[in-house]
Homo-oligomer: A and B are copies of this chain.
Amino acid sequence: MTEHRVLNFGAGPAALPESVLKQAQQELLNFQDTGMSIMELSHRSKVFMKVVNDAKRDLIDLMEIPDNYEVIFMQGGATTGFSAVVYNLLAAKKRTDPHGKAPVDYFITGGWSSKAAAEAKRLGANVNVVVDTKKSTGAYTSVPPPEEWTGHLSGSDAAYVYYCDNETVHGVEFPYIPEVDPSVPLVADMSSNFLSRKVDVSKFGVIYGGAQKNVGPAGVTIVIVRKDLLTDLTSYQDTPSGAFVIPQMLDYKTLVDNNSLYNTPPMFSIYIVGLVLQHLKSLGGLEAIEAMNKRKSDKIYGIIAKSALYKCLVQEGSRSRMNIVFRLDSEEREKAFLKGAEERNMVQLNGHRSVGGIRVSLYNAVTEEAVETLAAYMMDFEKDTTQ
């Protein structure tokens, strides 16, 4: 049966590889001849444990994660993810900083890092803003080089340095990995560019990301954490603001000690992540995927560069390969653009509700053929509307 399928440029939850969906469909009532759906299996069954362990192994292979790191599958999305960072890394720092007043350094380059910094502050951390581009430049449209940071890194005093590698809403992606004091853990939210290119994991204390962009469905968050940062928080009762009480399920060490099976994990989401990881391996791994993603974004940015109609406000050099945001000359024209796209089977191209405009998300599962179709439409649309 051939299904009706569209070209999905959504920002997340986003397109999944069709082969993955087909496999999930095929085995939905009978997973690996167990006579049960993957959703009906005990999370402590050997069959499911293998799903978790295979997914971990494939992620380690793909990202070349060194031995001194652990991989965790959590719940709660990036929002829970950035709360967990605060708790776990302040606790790790307190081993050498018993008064818990250590600063935490935040780069604010878009909506997500802005939220993360606000959460850290709310949870009582001593937040130091390295740069807030909305304040320094008027908009989240760049990642400035070190000489344009309005603040500074706290050096070895910091409990950690935090940034969001790709800002999904604003279409801004870090062109560099910030250089930090070697004693300070660097933390990156990679929710929307996870597994889209090669990353030197050894430079990080923590990398985390919600799965629902490049790696799977909503409901699971992947955390890669350096082992020396794992701290026993079971009875931790001390924080910058007086009491450090952390819900059990946000404690990295509890999750690591239980191989992400402290309680029932989001099994179906982890299973789909596992299938996506196998698919990415079959495509040739991250080197091939990085090259493909570059071709895809070059294609669309190339059209914008030559266009009099499409304007990308993000500075060159900071433009995201994953989320390309641009405006047309009026909201009416933007509506016409989106309508025409839908008529041509291309959907979820609207910008985030907070910013408007057009957003083209080019995650791993968006094919080059889909990008060609969009590119042709963009050129046709400009020709037709400006004649």
Query: Which residues of A are interface residues toward B (Cβ below 8 A)?
Result: 3-6, 8, 10-16, 18, 21-22, 24-25, 28-30, 33-37, 39-45, 75-80, 83-84, 87, 119, 122-124, 210, 212, 217-220, 234-235, 237, 239, 241-245, 247-250, 262-269, 272, 345, 347-348, 353
A13 touching B248, Cβ below 8 Å:
no
- With A75-B77, A249-B77 already in contact, the answer to whether A264 and B4 are too (CB < 8 A) is no
Partner of A265, one of B12, B44, B218, B245: B218
Question: Chain B residues near A5 (CB, 8 Å)?
Answer: 29-30, 35-36
Known: A119-B247, A124-B245, A217-B267. 11 other contacts (CB 8 A): A12-B42, A12-B264, A13-B43, A24-B28, A34-B347, A45-B348, A77-B249, A80-B247, A122-B234, A122-B248, A241-B245
A124 touching B237, Cβ below 8 Å:
yes
Residue of B nearest to A39 (CB): B217
Residue of B nearest to A37 (CB): B21
A13 touching B42, Cβ below 8 Å:
yes
- With A5-B29, A76-B249 already in contact, the answer to whether A10 and B42 are too (CB < 8 A) is yes
- With A4-B33, A28-B21 already in contact, the answer to whether A39 and B218 are too (CB < 8 A) is yes
Chain A at the B interface: SS class: loop
B269 touching A36, Cβ below 8 Å:
no
B245 touching A239, Cβ below 8 Å:
yes
- With A30-B4, A124-B243 already in contact, the answer to whether A16 and B40 are too (CB < 8 A) is yes
CA A241 to CA B124, docked complex, whole Å: 14
Closest 4 CB pairs of A and B: A6-B35, A219-B266, A242-B242, A83-B247
- With A21-B29, A83-B248 already in contact, the answer to whether A219 and B35 are too (CB < 8 A) is no
Question: Chain B residues near A39 (CB, 8 Å)?
Answer: 13, 16, 21, 217-218, 272
A268 touching B41, Cβ below 8 Å:
no
A210 touching B35, Cβ below 8 Å:
no
B30 touching A3, Cβ below 8 Å:
yes
What are some 9 contacts across the A-B interface (CB < 8 A)?
A13-B43, A13-B267, A25-B29, A122-B248, A124-B237, A219-B220, A219-B267, A239-B243, A239-B245
Question: Chain B residues near A3 (CB, 8 Å)?
Answer: 29-30, 35
Interchain nearest-CB distance for A236 vs B (Å)? 9
